[in-house]
Chains A and B, each alone.
Chain A
Amino acid sequence: MTEAEAIRLFKCLSDKSRLQILKSLAIEDMYVERLAERLGLTAPTISFHLKKLADAGAVTSYKKQYYTMYSLCRDCFNTSLLDIIQEESDDAQIQSQRDAEYRQKVIDAFFEYGKLKTIPAQRKKKRIVLEVIVQSFEFGKLYTEREVNIIIADYHDDFCTLRRDMIAEQLLGRNKDGYWRIQND
């Protein structure tokens, strides 16, 4: 378990309702309504907590007839705390984790269901957003301006600004024949 995964799990566990859900699932696999009845919470609240637990790797689900059953992810809990704290993490790894977390935070803030909500004003954030969009372009393929616009318009209506910014950030190259994705390190 990496440091980031451990932190996510601990954060997720620091909630009484979620701990109670896990205690119930330690007895047997259950579906949402059963957990709701058992814990005196509403079904949507249980679903909310189960989603968080699933994201942290603490529970898994499977289909059984009409129900989605939830079960405790025992592998996750078989890891001892000592194993977690003894996990080595060098500075470069920590830095790279921080960068990845920052990147994810920016992506979460500016994208909603794959659409760009607004174009970031800050260059560092804009670069991250553009790097996400450029992933829709294939390497080694030449695109016409119209094709570029159509791809970018899937993310945001202001495709002109974004197209120019991608050129300026050297994510896309351009000449008289068209546009292409630049290979960056």
Chain B
Amino acid sequence: MQPLSILILWVLAKVGASMKEQTQNAVFAYFNDEIVACQRRQKELLADNRADEAIFMKIRANVFDIFKTILSVAIRTVRSGSSAEIKEFFLQKTEQIPENWKSAYARAAEHGDIEKMHYESIKLEVIAEIRETFETIWGDK
């Protein structure tokens, strides 16, 4: 192979790797921003004597944190480093994990437990937001 071809391949590989990193960083930045925003809002609500609504924010922050961790695990676990495989792993988890939340919500609805229904619906709302944003940043949307 000509040295020029090798150079071109090397540059393309570097550009590809850099784009992949940029995408991953963008998703992590999204999670971090949301967590910080929730924590800030939680403090504001507490200061405004709205303790229960502050708990809602804490729940939101926790869900973002859980899925930030899952993305780190996805990146570490997928040995090939393939973007498509990381995406598949992550999206699979966004389906699996909320299953318990959905059934908890249904159980609470069955028993008219409004408090529990609200807690579960917050988690389900956040996971819908995460999926939407993840697919937008990662591509194929």
- A contact set with B: CB distance below 8 Å: 14-17, 41, 44-45, 47-49, 51-52, 112-113
Nearest-neighbor residue (CB-CB) of B107 within chain A = A113
A-B contact count (CB 8 A): 35
A51 touches B114 (CB 8 A): yes
Contact A113 B111 (CB under 8 A): yes
User: B52 contacts the other chain (Cβ, under 8 Å)?
Assistant: yes
User: Would you mind naming 13 contact pairs between A and B with Cβ atoms under 8 Å apart?
Assistant: A14-B49, A14-B51, A16-B48, A41-B53, A45-B53, A45-B56, A47-B114, A48-B52, A48-B114, A49-B52, A51-B114, A51-B115, A52-B115
CA distance A41 to B53 in the complex (A): 10
| Contact residue among B50, B107, B113 (Cβ-Cβ distance under 8 Å from A15) | B50
Known contacts A113-B107, A113-B111; A45/B118 CB under 8 A: yes
| Interchain CA distance A17-B50 in the complex, whole Å | 6
**Which has the most chain B C-beta neighbours within 10 Å: A14, A48, A49, A52?**
A48
Residues of A within 8 A of B83 (CB): none
B residues lining the A interface (CB < 8 Å): 48-53, 56, 107, 110-111, 113-115, 117-118, 121
Q: Are A16 and B49 in contact (CB under 8 A)?
A: yes
Contacts of A52 in B (CB 8 A): 52, 115
Chain A residues whose C-beta falls within 8 Å of the C-beta of B115 in the assembled complex: 48, 51-52
> Closest residue of chain B to A45, judged by CB?
B53
> Considering the chains assembled together, what is the distance between the CA atoms of A15 and B49 in angstroms?
5
Q: Please give me the residue from chain B that is nearest to A51 by CB atom.
A: B114
* Cβ contact within 8 Å between B50 and A16: yes
Residues in A with CB closer than 8 Å to B52 are: 15, 17, 48-49, 52
Residues of A within 8 A of B114 (CB): 47-48, 51
In the complex, chain A residues whose CB is within 8 Å of the CB of B56: 45
- Give chain A residues whose Cβ lies under 8 Å from the Cβ of B117: 44
By a CB distance below 8 angstroms, the chain A residues around B49 are 14-16
A51 to chain B, nearest CB (A): 4
Given A15-B51, A48-B52, A51-B115, 17 new contacts (CB under 8 A): A14-B51, A15-B49, A16-B48, A17-B50, A17-B52, A17-B53, A44-B118, A44-B121, A45-B118, A47-B118, A48-B114, A51-B114, A52-B52, A112-B107, A113-B107, A113-B110, A113-B111
Specify which of B50, B107, B121 lies most central, judged by the most chain A CB atoms within 10 Å of its CB.
B50
Note all chain A residues with C-beta closer than 8 A to B113. 113
